[in-house]
Structures are given as C-alpha cells and as structure tokens.
Amino acid sequence: MQIILTTSVSLPAEIAAHWRIRQREIMRYTCRYLRIQMRKQVRRSVTRKYNRQGGTFDRVTTRFTDAEYDTLHGVAAALRVSVSSLIYGLIKLWLKPSRRAIRRFFLSNYQLVDGKWDPEAGFIEEIITFWRVEHPEAPPPWLGAPELQAD
C-alpha cells in the first residue's frame, strides 16, 4: 500500500503555477535531477540553504508518496538544502525542452537502515540506489526478473 503525505513547498510565484498544474509530470524527472545533485559534495558545517530568489513566493500544498518524500528529504539533508529548493531546481530542469527530450529511464529505491536510536547513541543509514531501466514497462530490479513463461 502506497502512503501519500501532504506537505507544502515554497516556490517563486512565477514557478509555482507549473508545479500546481504539472507536479506528477515534473516528478518523473526526479531521478535525473537527484543524480545531478548527488554529484555535489555532501555539505557539513554549514547552515541550510533555502530558495533565495527575489520576488514573491507561494506556499503550494503538495502530495508525495512516502518514497518520494523520504528520498527528497534524504538528499536535502545531505546537501543541507531545503526540499523546496530541490523542487525549484527540478522545475527549472523540467522547463528546459532539451532536457525533457532526453529519454533516460531510471528508478530509485530509498532505504532506511535502523542502527541505534536511543538516549545513549544515534546512528541510522539512508541508502538511495538508482537503476537504469532499458524498457519503461519492465518491473523494478528489486522485484526480480519476471518468470519465464513456457510456450
């Protein structure tokens, strides 16, 4: 069962309309965008970076699957940026027609490995794995190969 989480993101007003109307379509580019972002160094000893564009911002109610939400938050935490700034960058990527023309299919799998989380110590591990999918109809690799059917 897929869990849907409702939250909000803060976006420049001129960009927010794209997100309101095309969120599902834009989210199809998340793997590509996150793979680009994950080429950057993990940031530590810095404060979180937020959208710093001039002008007005809109707060947009947004629905993510739990996997989308966890993946976005995992990358945002590692890079010390806000999820809103990731979404803004994702929309900017989507707005480039040349980027939309490239048909690369990737899937991602977010996994949280419980380590220890109590008053004595805390460690957890977040894993985001990407797979190239040659055929968009193929099942995700973590579901295993489909059974061969006898003729």
Per residue in 76-99, pLDDT (tens digit) is: 988 988 999 999 999 999 998 776
Confidence band, pLDDT 50/70/90 cuts, at residue 139: low
Domain boundaries, position 93: 4-103
Q: Record the pTM.
A: 0.77
Cα distances (angstroms) measured from residue 60 to each of 19, 45, 66, 80, 95: 8, 30, 18, 21, 18
Q: Is residue 148 part of a domain?
A: no
22-35 pLDDT per residue, tens: 999 899 888 888 98
Q: Is residue 126 part of a domain?
A: no
If you average pLDDT over every residue of the chain, what do you get? 81
Q: Is residue 55 part of a domain?
A: yes
Q: Is residue 109 part of a domain?
A: no
Q: Is residue 123 part of a domain?
A: no
Count the domains in the chain: 1
- Tell me, what's the pLDDT at 49? 60
